[in-house]
Amino acid sequence: MNGMRRSEGGTTTWVVVLLLMLAIVGYLAWQKFASPTPPPKVVVAPTPAPATPPPATPEPVVVKATPTPPPVVVVATPPPTPVPTPPPLDITMVVRTPALWPQQVLLVQPVTLPVILNGRNVGEAKVPVGTALRVLRLGAEQVEIEYQNARYTIRVASTDLMQRALAAFRANGSVLPTAPVAAASQAPQAPVTPAVTLPPGEAARLKIDVSVDRKRTNVAKDSAAGNRGEDEKVTEKYTYAITVQSREFVEVPPLDVQYLVFVERQKLGSQRDDNPIERITGSGKTGQMNRKDPTQVVTSSEFEISRQIQNSKYGGYVNGGRRKVEDSIVGVWVKVLKDGQIVAEYTNPSTIKKRGWDKSEGK
C-alpha cells in the first residue's frame, strides 16, 4: 500500500516539471517569431523663432573715490639737553665768594697758637682737633680765626673750611651767583648802583662779619732826655682798621660803624691801684657792598700810648708812687649797625662788655 503511494507521488512531480518546461519553450518561440510592434509615429513640430529680448539697460558704474590718507606728521625729537657739569670748587673761588665762607670751622689737625698778653708773647697754647673757631677772613692758603678772644692765622688745610664751603655751594645748586646779562639790543650803559632799602627787621638777618686790626703808625722817642735831666718818654701812635665784610648774594647798603677803645693810663707817682681807663670813641660809615666788592674798611682816629721813666736824679716819691709807668690797651668794642639795628659786633676780649658801652653802664 505504501509502495503504491510513493509511485503515484513521483509520477505527478515529473508531469508538473514537463509542463513547465514546455511553457518556457513555447514562450521563447513566440518571442522569436512574432512580428515586431511598429514604433510610434514621431510628429515634428516647427521650432518657433526665438523671441528677441529687449535691450538690457546697463547698470551705472559707480566709481568709489579712494580716500586720501591724512599726511603723517613726523615730530622731530629734539636731542636731549646736556646736563651742565658743575664747575669744580677750589680755594680761589671760595676766597672770591664770601657768601660761601662758613661762620665757624672745626680743626681737623691740631695747631699751636702763641699766647699774647698786653702785646707780648708769654707762651703757647695747643689747640686740639675738633675745636670750633670763628672765621674772620680768608686768604689763598691761610684763614684768620678767633680763638679765646684773640685773632690768629692758621692754614686752611688744618680746618674743615673747604668741606663747609662745598656744602654751601651745593645748597645753592652748584652754581656761583652771576650778574644779570643785559639784552643785546640795548646800548651799553654805565653801571648804576641801585639804592637798597631793607624792610623793617631784615637788617638784623644780614650776614655781616667784622674784624679789627691794630696798626702802629708812629713811634717817638727822645733818647737824650735823660742826659738833659728830663724824664724818658716813648710815645706810640695807633689806629684800628675795622674790616666789614658781607656774605650776602645781594647788594648791601652802607652801614654805620661805631667803635670804643679802652686804654689804661698810668701816671708817674700814682699808686698801683689807681689806673684810670680812658674811653676813645669814634664812628664811620661803609660804602655799599656787593658780591664783587664785599669788603669795606673803616679806619679809627689815631690815638697814642706812652711809656715813661722818672729821671733818677729826682729820687723816688714820698708816697711810694710809680717811677715807671706804661699805658696799655685794655680792649676794643665795635658795633656795625643798619637803621639803628646791630648787624655785627666785635669785642676783644669778650669780657670788655662788662665795662658797658656807656661809662654809666660799666662796672
pLDDT at position 115: 78
Cell numbers linked to 196: 637798597
Triad 19, 20, 21: Cα angle to 5°:
95
Query: Is there a single domain that holds both residue 352 and residue 207?
Result: yes
Query: Is there a single domain that holds both residue 220 and residue 129?
Result: no
Query: Is there a single domain that holds both residue 135 and residue 215?
Result: no
Q: How many domains does the chain have?
A: 2
Q: What confidence tens digit (pLDDT) does each residue in 95-113 have?
A: 888 888 898 999 999 999 8
Judged against a pLDDT cut of 50, whether residue 179 lies above it is answered with no
Query: Is there a single domain that holds both residue 167 and residue 274?
Result: no
The CATH number of the domain holding residue 130 is: 2.30.30
Query: Is there a single domain that holds both residue 158 and residue 214?
Result: no
Where among 150, 172, 194 does a domain terminate? 172
What's the whole-number mean pLDDT along residues 315-333? Answer: 74
Is the entire prediction scored with pTM above 0.85? no
Q: What confidence tens digit (pLDDT) does each residue in 33-70 have?
A: 655 555 556 555 556 555 565 656 666 655 565 667 66
Of residues 217 and 119, which shows the higher confidence score?
A: 217
Structural domain contains residue 354: yes
Closest CA to 147 of 162, 164, 132: 132
Query: Is there a single domain that holds both residue 210 and residue 259?
Result: yes
Mean pLDDT, the chain, rounded, equals 76
Largest CA distance in the chain: 220
Show the domain range for 120. 89-172
Cα gap 22→267, rounded to integer Å: 197
Structural domain contains residue 18: no
Cα gap 9→54, rounded to integer Å: 86
Structural domain contains residue 312: yes
Query: Is there a single domain that holds both residue 253 and residue 339?
Result: yes
Of residues 118 and 234, which shows the higher confidence score?
A: 234
Query: Is there a single domain that holds both residue 353 and residue 207?
Result: yes
Query: Is there a single domain that holds both residue 274 and residue 146?
Result: no
Contact 243, 295 (CB under 8 A): yes
Query: Is there a single domain that holds both residue 211 and residue 161?
Result: no
Judged against a pLDDT cut of 80, whether residue 212 lies above it is answered with yes
Query: Is there a single domain that holds both residue 262 and residue 136?
Result: no
Where among 126, 150, 172 does a domain terminate? 172
DSSP label of 190: -
> Three-state SS for 94?
helix
DSSP label of 78: P
